Amino acid sequence: RSKDEIPHFYVSADVDMTGAMELRRQLNESAADDGARISVNDMVIKATSIALKRQPKFNAFFRGDRLQMNPSINMGIAIAQEAGLIVPGISACESKSLMEIATASRDLIARANNGTLRNEEYSGTTFSISNLGMFDVDSFVAIIFPPHAAVLAVGKVKEQAVARDGQLAVAQMMKATVSVDHRVADGAEAAQFLVEIKNLLENPVSLLLE
């Protein structure tokens, strides 16, 4: 239904996650033994939430011939289970810190696996993220989850040779692809949105400031 009714288009970018991975390591090393461990996906969720606050069109729903703007950013996380794919969500990500997102994400995944999710966690999402990095996938494109306006797909973070100031270096790189409803945004707007996420992840201290 999504592919039949929604005119999809796709924009991709390479994200240098070197700084983000180092920040994640430092935060996890300094966390209490019983504290939530920050995952790569938690950082992606936080960066996307900040980008959605700055570009709220991508957090909207296309209803009939108009956009329904959503005041809250409820982030759907694609979770693969034996029975199929589910997309439960973390509510009010616009007001959650990176650590709060990590705690909520861990809780959501645990309850998805033991079957104790609430109905509103399935139905109240406004944007979604699909991460196949744990399956050793470099990149892919995701199908928009109606009535969302877009979905972000991210692959694994891997060491890769890059050119910096004319010198060869090794960086931790991740491919990100946003699928967008063309009725909601055009290619230039989608590119700006994806670059916003890229810039936040490449300057990871910004994830701790909002």
Q: Which of 25, 37, 164, 182 is catalytic?
A: 182
Q: What are phi and psi of 199, to 5 degrees?
A: -65, -40
Please say whether the beta carbons of 157 and 172 come within 8 A. yes
CB 146 within 8 A of CB 8: no
Task: Let me know if 148 is a catalytic residue.
Answer: no
* 110 sits in which H/E element: helix 98-114
Dump the DSSP string for 180-196: EETTT--HHHHHHHHHH
Which H or E element spans position 112?
Answer: helix 98-114
Instruction: Please give the positions annotated as active site.
Output: 182
